[in-house]
Amino acid sequence: AQSVTQPDIHITVSEGASLELRCNYSYGATPYLFWYVQSPGQGLQLLLKYFSGDTLVQGIKGFEAEFKRSQSSFNLRKPSVHWSDAAEYFCAVAPRSGGSYIPTFGRGTSLIVHP
Amino acid sequence: NAGVTQTPKFQVLKTGQSMTLQCAQDMNHEYMSWYRQDPGMGLRLIHYSVGAGITDQGEVPNGYNVSRSTTEDFPLRLLSAAPSQTSVYFCASSPLAGTYEQYFGPGTRLTVT
């Protein structure tokens, strides 16, 4: 069965510092890959997605993610964190084939930003 | 274009009461789903639908019913509320073709006492 692992439950960074949130997946074939962000009291919003092609994907709010097939990873990065980036971040995968459309979400990483 | 809407935003129920959480989308998406979010548990899929008249169970379906009579609406029914159903509930939709990007509603915070 497919699974998504976000090994860090909480990450604390200082404003202006760089950020990397980790995501590893277990899947039979390379799935579609997503990162979502959930601001406090809000629903989830798509940050970026990987389908094919360039393994470095740019998203909204200055985020990027890199797909590494050999490591089954899709880590999210930002060079300089802003206080407004404090939120919950979810990695997700969806199958490319097989008739199933159900995405699998990781358990989330909570980002805390210190001034 | 309102996207995915959910009502109510907050609800308090007593054990044993029933209620319906409403979800609607105006993007003509075939796929709709319900998740519950609990601390440390991430998002858990309750039920989903790939079109009007078609529903199926997710990871945690017990205690919940759904129906899909139209493309736009996907209500979630709690038959007899229990304290274990205290959670935040999210509805999501996506097209079946192409991206599978999920569009989420703002959530309903439910407390069962």
Chain A contact for B108, CB < 8 A?
no
Is the C-alpha dihedral spanning B43, B44, B47, B50 positive or negative? positive
A113 neighbors A14 (Cβ within 8 angstroms): yes
| Residue whose token pair is 């159900």 | A102
Report the C-alpha gap between A55 and B86 in whole angstroms: 40
Chain A contact for B63, CB < 8 A?
no
Using CA atoms, how far residue B12 sits from A43, A71, A96, B5, B27, in Å, is 20, 45, 40, 19, 30
pLDDT at residue A99 tops 80: no
Q: What is the per-residue pLDDT across A103-113, written as a single tens digit (0 to 9) for each? A: 889 999 999 99
Q: What is the per-residue pLDDT across B20-32, written as a single tens digit (0 to 9) for each? A: 999 999 999 999 9
Q: Which residues of chain B have pLDDT under 50?
A: none
- Across the interface, whether the CB atoms of B43 and A90 are under 8 A apart is answered yes
Q: Which pLDDT belongs to residue B40? A: 83
Question: What token pair was written down for B110?
Answer: 């439910």
B24 neighbors B32 (Cβ within 8 angstroms): no
pLDDT at residue A79 tops 80: yes
Chain A contact for B10, CB < 8 A?
no
